[in-house]
Structure 1
Amino acid sequence: MKLHKESKGTIIVASVVFAIVAFVSTHYLKMWSLAILIPLIMIYGLVFWFFRVPNREILDHKENVIAPVDGKVVMIKEVQEDEFMNDKAIQVSIFMSPLNVHICRFPVSGKVVYKKYHPGKYLVAWHEKSSTDNERTTLAVESLTNHKVVFRQIAGYVARRIVFNCKEGDEAKAGHEFGFIKFGSRMDVFLPIDTEIVCKIGDKTKGGIDVIARMKE
């Protein structure tokens, strides 16, 4: 199993903690060692599972809007997007549990025209106000169909580290990685109001693969 590069520090810390607890439990808490080690091994394994990098065939897309993350569609609504679009938009929000792959991918192909990091709160990621109140990074791409598409990485109650590896002027390729969020979070995508939405609330998405919307040329 291939691990994401963001796993290095977390796995080192988890390994040290695991080794210390395992040593103490087997040497000083012998009668309780199995009760301690079994859940500890499960948690240790989940750390590796969280940072897995799935092998996916990413296709080229023009009109299609691709799911930027693995997760569950929790919101589809018309909103006013005032940070970049300054217009009405359709917001599609996808919530990621700690068990989902947390790689963040471009939803559309085009050119990165905006990027801004916002410090903030750590409300639970499914809270509606997390889109504007939580720590977050907002990016915008001018798509190959000449539309402005805004998407936002949002830290949650557990997620406390947002990673983004792109800058203004970079090429965006739908389905390809641009960042990572550690441990439970959310991604919002803001699309032009006339976009055809092909997902629905409750859908499970596979980042880089599933089509969530289509834009008119």
Structure 2
Amino acid sequence: MCFNLPNINRGGYPFIIIFFIASCIAFSISWGLGMTCLLPTLLCIYFFRDPARIIPENTDFILSPADGVITKIDEVSHPDAKEEKKLKCISIFLSVLNVHVTRIPISGTVKEMHYKKGKFVYAMNNSSCNENEKQVIIIEYQEGKEIIVEQVAGFIARRIVCNLQISQNVKAGERFGIIRFGSRVNVFIPTDLAIRVNIGQTVIAGETVIAGLNQEGEKLAYNVI
């Protein structure tokens, strides 16, 4: 029988090693204690899995940056209070069972990055978008045109990892970080772009098209919550 281990994000190895060593020690004491300690090891392997994805080649697509469920689609003010323009916000909730590796939604250049301190409200609540600790990334995909991606911490997720740098050229679908143990990712796009997803829809990072630069074709209806 062939058993294939899943690809693991490198950020998970310290946790997996620690729990594995603890399991070995526990097994030397008793079988029952060893099995109890082995469970966290298996859960870490599952949580930090990093499966390969088939990235669409169409450069007019904006891809989902995270696995999860769309919980909010709304027209909002620009996250930067100095900017007066409106943007569309697509918010994705990640449960502890989702893959937490985040991916670049569109090819371009990292224009700005800001880490904002905040609370650790349960990420399922839409209020967490404004209140929680977050990593803000601004990607310029065309001259003068940009989208904003926010990695938002949650009640359990208190560690945001972002491997990007300002002025870095990025490609749609590339891995750029991870949020540990339940969280939310927000994408802010110009209001004139067509939304391709609906509230309640399950999306896959690097594969699901959430919006398009090309305005041709029917826009999908969506509800605001």
Matched with 1:29 is none
- Given the alignment of the two structures, is residue 7 of structure 1 paired with residue 12 of structure 2, yes or no? yes
Matched with 1:44 is 41
Matched with 2:60 is 63
CA offsets 1:160-217 (integer angstroms, 9 cap, x no match): 1111111111112111111111111110001111110010011111100110011248
Q: SS at the partner of 1:190?
A: strand
Q: Matched residues in 2 for 1:158 and 1:151: separation?
A: 20
Q: SS at the partner of 2:10?
A: coil
Matched with 1:160 is 158
Preserved CA contact (<8 Å) 1:91 1:189:
yes
Q: SS at the partner of 2:172?
A: coil
* C-alpha spacing 1:13/1:215, structure 2 compared with 1 (3 Å): same
- Given the alignment of the two structures, is residue 16 of structure 1 paired with residue 48 of structure 2, yes or no? no
Which of residues 184, 191, 198 is equivalent to 1:193?
A: 191
Q: How does 1:17-166 map to 2 (within 5 A)?
A: 17-26=22-31, 33=32, 40-83=37-80, 86-144=84-142, 146-166=144-164
Query: What is the aligned length?
Result: 209
The percent identity for this pair of structures is 33
User: Unmatched 5+ residue regions in structure 1?
Assistant: 27-32
Q: Which moved more, 1:73-82 or 1:84-93?
A: 84-93
TM-score (norm 1): 0.88
CA offsets 1:125-181 (integer angstroms, 9 cap, x no match): 122221222111001111137521011000111111111111111112111111111
User: Unmatched 5+ residue regions in structure 2?
Assistant: 1-5, 216-225
Preserved CA contact (<8 Å) 1:145 1:215:
no
Q: Matched residues in 2 for 1:72 and 1:85: separation?
A: 28
Query: Amino acid of the residue matched to residue 116 of structure 2?
Result: H
Q: Which moved more, 1:48-57 or 1:182-191?
A: 48-57
Q: Matched residues in 2 for 1:166 and 1:148: separation?
A: 16
Q: Which moved more, 1:88-97 or 1:13-22?
A: 13-22
Q: Give the Å deviation of 1:59.
A: 3.5
Q: SS at the partner of 1:14?
A: helix
Q: Give the Å deviation of 1:21.
A: 3.6
Query: Amino acid of the residue matched to residue 66 of structure 1?
Result: L
Q: Matched residues in 1 for 2:164 and 2:57: separation?
A: 19
